[in-house]
Amino acid sequence: MKAEDFEKIHYRVSRGVALVTLNNPDRRNAWGGRMSVEYRWALYNAHSDDSVRVVVVTGSGDDFCVGADAKELNSIESAGGNYKKSKLDLPPYPENTPEQFQRNHAYPLSISKPVIAAVNGSCAGVGFIVASYADLRFGADNNIIKSAFARLGLPAEYGLGWILPKIMGSSNALQILLDGDRIDGAEALRLGWLQKIFPPEELLEKTVDYAARLARESSGFSMACIKRQVNFDAEGDFSAAYTRSVEDMNAAIKLPDFKEGLRALKEKRATNFLDS
């Protein structure tokens, strides 16, 4: 699926950054089947595009995503808890994605480009899941963040009980999941779910600027390796992770990015991997 076919996602690329915008503002970017499929295609397109080095995902309008679309939830309830899967084709998982990570909401972990969530306004339910599977999360002073599951009689859905402790530790993850009460950006930062917060009017600009700096000054090869090492290799044994990191290093020193890094060091300037 190409970007021009998207109905619930807006996609554009500039300065090495793919900006993916959840685009259902009339329903506060409520998550539904089509948006889910299009989001995966947007990530796949970014992964496959050599001009893209970093992905930023945000919500259109005032909110990131307030959760599942109530219309679709009501349909599930009326059908006795059954739901129909989308008939739209899904993109493949990137090559060498471990089988255990070939799961829908874990798709951002599998692509080679860092994914940064610019969490604007309210972020709840499945919106909280989407943001949690990003590699980094930047928020705003006015965030309203809720897990919501326990208050709906639901478990921590879609592997959230696995990913959240990796982000913020078990106790902080349990606090958010068991309570389900709203927290603001400052509290989410303190708990470790957010990595940075900005004034709401500056959030997207600051996040895209950060992503553009990564795209320019951090090697695409290095970022892909580091992301794989942290997300996948760390789930195996230390010996295998250590051995593979040495193999990665031996491969890296033969590549143009390493030469650019050395040149920048000698010339006492910032690296520019977009032009190297």
Give the number of residues written for the chain.
276
Query: Does the residue 274 lie in any domain?
Result: no
Co-location of 148 and 228 in the same domain: no
Co-location of 114 and 165 in the same domain: yes
| CA–CA distance, 204 with 58 (Å, rounded to integer) | 8
Query: Does the residue 45 lie in any domain?
Result: yes
| CA–CA distance, 26 with 29 (Å, rounded to integer) | 7
Co-location of 109 and 225 in the same domain: no
Q: Residue 98's closest CA among 236, 245, 232, 240? A: 232
Give the pLDDT mean for 214-218. 97
Residue appearing with tokens 């390493």: 258
DSSP letter, residue 36: H
Please, which pLDDT band fits residue 3 given cuts at 50, 70 and 90? confident
Co-location of 149 and 253 in the same domain: no
Q: Which amino acid is at 66?
A: V
Co-location of 64 and 176 in the same domain: yes
pLDDT of residue 13: 97
Looking at 198, 214, 230, the residue that finishes a domain is 214
> Mean pLDDT score of the chain, rounded to an integer?
92
pLDDT of residue 135: 98
Please, which pLDDT band fits residue 93 given cuts at 50, 70 and 90? very high
Co-location of 64 and 144 in the same domain: yes
Please, which pLDDT band fits residue 181 given cuts at 50, 70 and 90? confident
Give the pLDDT mean for 65-72. 80
Co-location of 92 and 204 in the same domain: yes
Looking at 214, 230, 247, the residue that finishes a domain is 214
pTM for the whole structure? 0.92
Co-location of 116 and 191 in the same domain: yes
Query: Does the residue 231 lie in any domain?
Result: yes
Query: Does the residue 276 lie in any domain?
Result: no
Query: Does the residue 272 lie in any domain?
Result: no
Q: Is the model's pLDDT at 117 over the cut of 80?
A: yes
Query: Does the residue 146 lie in any domain?
Result: yes
Q: How many other CB atoms are there within 10 angstroms of residue 38's CB atom?
A: 25
By percentage, how much of the chain surpasses pLDDT 90? 83
From first CA to last CA, the distance across the chain in angstroms is 30
Q: Is the model's pLDDT at 82 over the cut of 60?
A: no
| CA–CA distance, 106 with 92 (Å, rounded to integer) | 13
Query: Does the residue 275 lie in any domain?
Result: no
Looking at 214, 243, 258, the residue that finishes a domain is 214
| CA–CA distance, 224 with 48 (Å, rounded to integer) | 13
Q: Is the model's pLDDT at 73 over the cut of 70?
A: no
Please, which pLDDT band fits residue 151 given cuts at 50, 70 and 90? confident
Please, which pLDDT band fits residue 188 given cuts at 50, 70 and 90? very high
pLDDT of residue 68: 85
The total domain count for the chain is 2
pLDDT of residue 75: 55
Q: Which domain holds residue 133?
A: 3-214
Query: Does the residue 62 lie in any domain?
Result: yes
pLDDT of residue 112: 96
Co-location of 172 and 242 in the same domain: no
274's tokens = 């977009």
Q: The domain spanning residue 25 has which CATH number?
A: 3.90.226.10
Co-location of 117 and 248 in the same domain: no
Alpha carbons within 13 angstroms on the beta-carbon side of residue 158 total: 17
Co-location of 164 and 50 in the same domain: yes
Co-location of 58 and 191 in the same domain: yes
